[in-house]
Structure 1
Amino acid sequence: MSQHFKDAQSNAITQSGISRVIPCKELDIGDPIKWLSLGLRDFLRTPVISLFYGIMFAVIPWLIVFLVRMTGWHLVILPAIVCFMLIGPFLAAGLYDVSWELEKGHKPTLRHSLRAMKRNAVNEWGFGILLMVLMIFWLRVASLIHALYPPYLDDSLDSLLPFLALGTLVGAAFVSFMLFISAFTQPILMERKVDLATAVLTSVNAVWLNKVPMFIWGGLIFSAVAIGFVTGFIGFVFLMPLIGYATWHGYIDTITTKRERNYV
């Protein structure tokens, strides 16, 4: 092991004693593009399974919008988002299983990928609840920022600019925090029998040590989500499986193992 690698692993996270942190590798700036290309390969090799999960990811936000328009009751958004935050990680686990099976030289099946959702169910639910709590916190912060906007001001750009700037800064901080804790947590929980704290801190450690390529990766994810919303969630049918598969390859590329993976 090189001295640079040893130095990279010596930081407050790995030495905290809070939890066992799985070591990571140093990434190149172009690795996120490589992950996308590998994800596209997996999508093309498993189009039926990929479209199944893609449709699931597209239907959920579509149902949220449909319920709001049908009932006119915007309070339905919060419980709907809570359900999505709990279900989303399990759908992602199914996508990771597809890429995992392909790497092992197996033929992926929908049934096998669905069974992957319960491989580490307790910690998977724990992660979903963590995401749910963070999402509710963000919604409360966003409401607070909106409440700070004085009603007597007009809608000109000069009047809105301070609040747009504040919202953007707070939102960027929240998104960055989410990237740190969730970048590799889900694949770790699916492949390895580890606790939630170990998975989350391993993800934080890996992102911290590879800030530039990981923030590029975060930008690609944000762009995919934005395209999905702009296209009325239709883009999710293709983009969410692509991001899911690419995330698995990013995990394989980043988080080390004691023994080499003997994949075909």
Structure 2
Amino acid sequence: MPRTVNPHDFSDKRKEVSDKEYARTIPCNQLSISAPFHWLSLGLHDFVRMPLISVFYGLCFMVAAIGIVLLVQWQGTHLVVLPSLIVYMLIGPFLALGLYDASWEREKGHKASLLHSMKAIGRNSTSQWAFAVLLAVCMIFWMRIAALLHALYPSVQGAPLADFLPFLVIGSLVGFVLAAVVFSISAFSIPLMMERRVDVMTAVFSSFNAVKSNIPAMIVWALLICGGILVGFATYGIGMLFTMPILGYATWHGYHETIKKKHTP
């Protein structure tokens, strides 16, 4: 069983816990429901202060989003959406690493550089790749569940709404549960792995605990993220140029405000 770190471990010099301990849960702070809006304001400030880095990563997210939109239009079927999103979820965390690194450098009083942010991919790469694969497995699992739920879809064209209800209700419930789980384990995992170089299970347990302990604030944060992504795709990817860098910077500030720091003498 994973060990939950006692909060006193962070207040007592003699009980300081090493980040190298495997599969533990790092404690979190309690957040107000308005905290995500503060993170966004800090993210917007970073976006303005680091235009070159913001535009570079914004373009990367934009190109990926445009590629998904064009692929769906070219294929003329929704069946390519989920496979495309799996690729997007593999690429996304690594692109976000550069944004986290840039915000981290500014916090330390350093001048953030594009080259330095790109090198962030090499920090704790084993855990980061393991987490990316975990996200891909979750998406593949959702694809299999979706294929099974398709059996509930009415086989007759023009069927009454009542015939669609089992498919819509069960599909929505399953999708909501899986989306909530993925959001919970990924909310703060990547920045935690980058800064503290913890293992993937420690990052997942700590992120899940932080979301579970701050449900109202995390609901607001999830809605803001969904809104930013929807704006990006609704504008055929162009909106990603702005929304994704701001959300990336905001995630870093949210991580620092949520996950308790190590004790420093």
Q: Quickly name the TM-score band, shorter chain normalised.
A: 0.7 to 0.9
Distance 1:18 1:102 in 2: 30
Are residues 138 and 105 of structure 1, via their aligned partners in 2, closer, same or farther at CA, if it must alter by over 3 Å? same
Are residues 147 and 61 of structure 1, via their aligned partners in 2, closer, same or farther at CA, if it must alter by over 3 Å? farther
State the 1:73 CA deviation: 8.0
Percent sequence identity is 51
The range that moved more, 154-163 or 227-236, is 154-163
Equivalent in 95, 99, 116 of residue 99 of structure 2: 95
Matching of residue 227 in structure 1 with residue 231 in structure 2: yes
Equivalent in 184, 190, 213 of residue 186 of structure 1: 190
Equivalent in 194, 198, 205 of residue 201 of structure 1: 205
The answer to whether the 8 Å contact 2:22/2:199 transfers is no
Partner residue in 1 for 2:120: 116
Partner residue in 2 for 1:12: none
Matching of residue 139 in structure 1 with residue 139 in structure 2: no
Count of equivalent residues: 247
Partner residue in 1 for 2:241: 237
Partner residue in 1 for 2:171: 167
Output the TM-score relative to the length of structure 2. 0.85
The range that moved more, 181-190 or 251-260, is 251-260
Are residues 71 and 149 of structure 1, via their aligned partners in 2, closer, same or farther at CA, if it must alter by over 3 Å? closer
User: In the alignment, residue 57 of structure 1 is paired with which amino acid?
Assistant: F
The answer to whether the 8 Å contact 2:65/2:233 transfers is no
* CA-based RMSD: 2.3
Q: Which runs of 5+ in 2 are unaligned?
A: 1-6, 9-20
Distance 1:226 1:78 in 2: 16
Equivalent in 258, 261, 264 of residue 257 of structure 1: 261
SS at match of 2:154: coil
Distance 1:183 1:211 in 2: 12
Distance 1:68 1:239 in 2: 22
User: In the alignment, residue 92 of structure 2 is paired with which amino acid?
Assistant: G
The answer to whether the 8 Å contact 2:65/2:240 transfers is no
Partner residue in 1 for 2:11: none
The answer to whether the 8 Å contact 2:69/2:236 transfers is no
Output the TM-score relative to the length of structure 1. 0.86
Matching of residue 66 in structure 1 with residue 70 in structure 2: yes
The range that moved more, 52-61 or 150-159, is 150-159
Distance 2:209 2:88 in 1: 27
Partner residue in 1 for 2:12: none
SS at match of 1:139: helix
Are residues 215 and 78 of structure 1, via their aligned partners in 2, closer, same or farther at CA, if it must alter by over 3 Å? closer
Are residues 29 and 134 of structure 1, via their aligned partners in 2, closer, same or farther at CA, if it must alter by over 3 Å? same
Equivalent in 237, 240, 252 of residue 248 of structure 1: 252
Describe how 1:39-78 pairs up with structure 2 within 5 A.
Answer: 39-70=43-74
Distance 1:77 1:246 in 2: 27
The range that moved more, 251-260 or 172-181, is 251-260
The range that moved more, 70-79 or 125-134, is 70-79
User: In the alignment, residue 179 of structure 1 is paired with which amino acid?
Assistant: F
State the 1:159 CA deviation: 3.5
The range that moved more, 81-90 or 71-80, is 71-80
State the 1:65 CA deviation: 3.1
State the 1:182 CA deviation: 0.5
Q: Deviations over 1:173-195 (max 9, x none)?
A: 11111121011100001101211
Are residues 35 and 125 of structure 1, via their aligned partners in 2, closer, same or farther at CA, if it must alter by over 3 Å? same
Distance 2:159 2:96 in 1: 40
The answer to whether the 8 Å contact 2:65/2:236 transfers is no
The answer to whether the 8 Å contact 2:71/2:80 transfers is yes
Distance 2:68 2:114 in 1: 26
Q: Which runs of 5+ in 1 are unaligned?
A: 7-16
